[in-house]
Structure 1
Amino acid sequence: MAGLQPAWLLHSRPYREQSVIASYLVAGSGRIDMVVNGVRQRKNSRAALLQPFSRVLLSWKGHQELKKLVAIEPDLFSPGSGPLTLNGRALFCGFYINEVVLRALLPGQSAGGIISLYERTIRQLANAEKAEENKEPYLRGFELDLLSQLGYAPTLDYDVTGDPLQPDTLYHFQPEQGFYSIQALTDQRDKSYDYPAEVLLAMSRRDFSNPGYYRWFKRFTRQALVPVLGHRPLSSRSLFMRQKPH
């Protein structure tokens, strides 16, 4: 790979005695997994650059799925460059977003607009923590936009027949299909997939201002993400076990 590319670290894990395998979200290339040799040695200059929520410039080589890092340096000149400080709940949210993106993309898979979405959301979380804002709107917006980028987002303001959702009506969500009016269904359905039209229409507008809808928003995005992430629990969710649910 010629030239340095902007990238964000999603995850790293030990590899052999002194190296790591790092998964990056790379502009123009998607998810790239690469070996970073010798980084676990004492006083290795690259170790400080293997931090989440800090955009770097890097290059790699290799024709296999697992690449080899060639060069890495901090991105000092792009607008808003430099490491972002995530603390408290924002940090947990950041780890959650990293794991979702890591699970959603296969090594070598193109990311399209996901890197812009990722960077915007991480910056929103950092700013929200400083202002002590609620993180819920940023997480739900990220999840819905990620589904759109991956082609899994249902149309939130129309049912499967193409009719607009009607106020004061309950709809049943069928992942990878869309919404059915419950009037056309039997009582044997899984009612945890039922949603009021008002909740769905709010999500279609990306309007997350009603705290009374938060539980609906969260439940819906989890259900909608299953075809992308699978049923295996996300490790990052354990960080919220002693916190108010995100």
Structure 2
Amino acid sequence: MHPVRYDAEPAYVLHARPWRETSLLLELLTEHHGRVGVVARGVQGPKRHVLRAALQPLQHIRFDGVQRGELAQLRAAEAIDAAPRLSGDAGLAGFYVSELALRLAPREDPHAGLYDLYGQVRERLREGAPLAWTLRRFERDLLDAIGFGLDLSQEDGGAPVDPAARYRVDPEHGPRRVLSERIDAAHRGQTATGRALLALAGDRMPDSDDLQGLRRVMRNLLAHHLGGRGLKSWELMGELGRIAGPARPQSAAPTGTDDSVS
């Protein structure tokens, strides 16, 4: 197997965890090679704080390395810019988008636009954009980038989505109308309005109630593609009872018990 060399390769740090006494195991989303696992040796020492700071999640870096097996060996790295300083719900959202990209993007299989997509959502989080809408857009575009996108403006079968109807979204076939006589509390909790689906398809932020419906149907879609194992961020958001309304500023204290940030 010929080694793969990374020379000044731009990347975002999705995940970092300690390994042995002085090293880190990293997952990077690179511009040209997709997701790459990397070992960064000797970065936990007292004189390596600048390098260690450049290898934290959400950080945008440029790195050198060589890969001969499953993991690349880091040779050098530097920060391209300062990572967003996120707290509260925005911090949870940053953890969520990184975990979702980590779980859905296969290693060493670049997808056109995924690197740019992560950069876009990172800047929206930095700017304090409405969290729930920011995450719905990222989920939609991530599924598109890895080949699982759906046309949310058309029903399964080709008819236009009806704004006044309710739909569940099949992971393979797209929106399927739920008959009005079957919309009880259980069905309502797994559906979204046609108006909400059309808004997402047209990249127009819907109202708060429709955002709730989009959260539910997008979570169902993502759970299907994630297989039997959910996300740590979903568990954390559920335990904390976080809320992220469509226009609440980052600095506002969480209220209520809804976890629409996820």
Q: What TM-score range do you get, normalising by the shorter chain?
A: 0.7 to 0.9
Match of residue 200, structure 1, among 197, 201, 205? 197
Secondary structure, counterpart of 1:156 in structure 2: coil
Deviates further, 7-16 or 142-151? 7-16
Q: Deviations over 1:19-77 (max 9, x none)?
A: 121111111111010111111233225212212222111021023121111111122xx
Q: 1:39 to 1:145 in 2, by over 3 A?
A: same
Secondary structure, counterpart of 2:175 in structure 1: strand
Gaps of 5+ in 1: 76-80
1:162 corresponds to which letter in structure 2? Answer: G
Report the CA distance between 1:88 and its aligned residue: 2.3
Q: 1:102 to 1:73 in 2, by over 3 A?
A: same
Partner of 1:91: 91
Q: Deviations over 1:61-100 (max 9, x none)?
A: 023121111111122xxxxx33322222211110111100
Match of residue 57, structure 1, among 59, 62, 69? 62
Secondary structure, counterpart of 1:3 in structure 2: strand
Partner of 1:78: none
Report the CA distance between 1:2 and its aligned residue: 4.5
Partner of 1:8: 12
1:243 corresponds to which letter in structure 2? Answer: R
Q: 1:18 to 1:143 in 2, by over 3 A?
A: same
Q: Is the 8 A contact 2:95 2:233 kept in 1?
A: yes
Secondary structure, counterpart of 1:85 in structure 2: coil
Secondary structure, counterpart of 2:112 in structure 1: coil
Q: Is the 8 A contact 2:191 2:213 kept in 1?
A: no
RMSD over equivalenced CA pairs, Å: 2.4
1:9 corresponds to which letter in structure 2? Answer: V
Partner of 1:102: 102
Partner of 1:218: 215
Q: 1:134 to 1:182 in 2, by over 3 A?
A: closer
Q: Distance in 1 between matches of 2:125 and 2:216?
A: 21
Q: Between the two proteins, what is the percent identity of the paired residues?
A: 28
Report the CA distance between 1:138 and its aligned residue: 0.7
Q: Is the 8 A contact 2:105 2:146 kept in 1?
A: no
Partner of 2:112: 112
Partner of 2:40: 36
Q: Distance in 2 between matches of 1:156 and 1:201?
A: 6
1:25 matched to 2:66: no
Secondary structure, counterpart of 1:43 in structure 2: coil
1:156 matched to 2:152: yes
TM-score by length of 2: 0.82
TM-score by length of 1: 0.87
